Amino acid sequence: MPTRVSSYSKINLGLAIGALRADGFHQLVTVYQTLALSDAVTVTARRAVKTAITIRSKDARIPTDGRNTAWKMVEFALVKAGFAAVVEVEIEKNLPVQGGLGAGSGNAAAALVGLERELGLNLAGPSRLEIAAEVGSDVPLFLVGGTVLGLGRGEAVYPLPDLPEMACVVAVPEVGVSTPQAFLDWDRLGVQEKLTPEASHARLSKLSRAIAAGFSGVSAVGGDLAGNPLLELVRTGIENDFEKVVFPLHPRLREIKHILEVGAVYAALSGSGSALFGLYADDQSAEQAAVRVRAAGVKAFVTRTISRAELVDD
Ligand code: C5P
């Protein structure tokens, strides 16, 4: 019987980019937060003598061959498990394809969950994270879910205490941002601004300290956190480094951020974009922000953050 799995999205609550590593990836510190906004992935699988993978989607932008993240995940998982199987994966897209919301990465994680259920596979936690990291830097986070610290190239994930549930507006401008290009632009900016390796490292340390302070509930300036570490993170000054290279190229995105910021606890670009998000203390503020974004001619979704327990139990 086919197994249908919700394939969630993520935003980045702060993202600091560090040095370019010898393997071509950049050192990162980020906090991921999973959102209820989702695609659906349906997996049908049976053991066979030889592996055959089929990917289907009504969305023509989705590659249906080995370039597809769900394909890669299924292939890696079967190799790891030492099984051959005939596997069909159907991807129902609601999320933007190249948006900074980790949609393709979420699809891969959901495909793994579906495959495991279909075949009764029981891969060990570290093996699951390992193959997820091989598929992409922001795939492992979806196997953890909720509020997640991302280190290394973003693939080294650590569960943080879940933030209290918050309303979220995701704005999806019709602008494509290439992640590898955004990283290259960051390197170029670093050269221009003569960012030394020490200064680069200090940026990562600063965000790490803000995260540690936020989640330990210890406020550097005192005051009531009202139980939400995000307030402390915002107070300490989280930011997404990609904004420094993406906003100058696409000034419209900065304007949309400003629209989202009205009434928000925090608003920012997600990943390298072009999706932007605002987090709100109540549904009404979120609804009003979505109306303003749409009035500016940009697609907006009203959603909410999703906790680790909700994501894993789904
Ligand atoms: O891991 P993922 O497939 O998402 O990475 C896509 C590309 O983004 C990489 O090939 C690399 O160019 C860039 N990247 C990076 N540093 C990271 C993550 C991604 O430079 N931490």
Q: Is 153 in the pocket of ligand 1 (CB under 6 A)?
A: yes
User: Residue 92: is its pLDDT beyond 60?
Assistant: yes
Residue 24's pLDDT band (cuts 50, 70, 90): very high
On the question of pLDDT at 248 being above 70, the answer is yes
Q: Is 186 in the pocket of ligand 1 (CB under 6 A)?
A: no
Query: What length does the chain have?
Result: 314
In the predicted model, what is the mean pLDDT of residues 131-141?
A: 97
Catalytic residue status for 138: yes
Q: Is the CB of 154 under 6 A from ligand 1?
A: yes
The model carries a pTM of 0.93
Q: Tell whether omega for the bond before 285 is within 30 degrees of 0, i.e. cis.
A: no
Q: How confident is the model at residue 233, as a pLDDT?
A: 87
Mean pLDDT of the chain: 92
- Is residue 180 lining ligand 1, measured as CB closer than 6 Å? yes
Residue 206 burial (C-beta neighbours within 10 Å; 0-12, 13-18, 19+): middle
| The pLDDT of residue 218 is above 80 | no
- Which of 34, 26, 35, 16 lies closest to 236 in space, CA to CA? 16
Mean pLDDT of 202-225: 72
Ligand 1, residue 17: give the atom nearest the CA: 21
First to last CA, the chain: 17
Question: 44-83 pLDDT, tens per residue?
Answer: 999 999 999 999 999 998 999 999 999 999 999 999 999 9
Model pLDDT for residues 166-199, shown as the tens digit of each residue: 999 999 999 989 999 999 999 998 877 778 888 8
User: Omega into 208 within 30° of 0, i.e. cis?
Assistant: no
Q: Give the distance from CA 138 to its chain's centroid.
A: 6
Neighbours of 19 (CB within 10 A): 14
Atom of ligand 1 nearest to the CA of 105: 4
Residue 119: predicted pLDDT:
96
pLDDT class of 203 with cuts at 50, 70, 90 = confident
* pLDDT at residue 217, rounded to an integer: 61
314 is catalytic: no
Q: Residue 307: helix, strand or coil by DSSP?
A: coil
Catalytic residue among 39, 72, 138, 241: 138
Q: How many percent of the chain have pLDDT more than 70?
A: 96
Among all chains, which residue has been given the structure tokens 């999706």? Answer: 275
DSSP character for 281?
A: S
CA of 296 to the centre of ligand 1 (A): 32
146 lines ligand 1 (CB under 6 A): no
Q: Which of 17, 26, 97 to probe ligand 1 with, by most ligand atoms within 8 A of CB? A: 26
Mutate to test the pocket of ligand 1, among 20, 105, 183 (most ligand atoms within 8 A of CB): 183
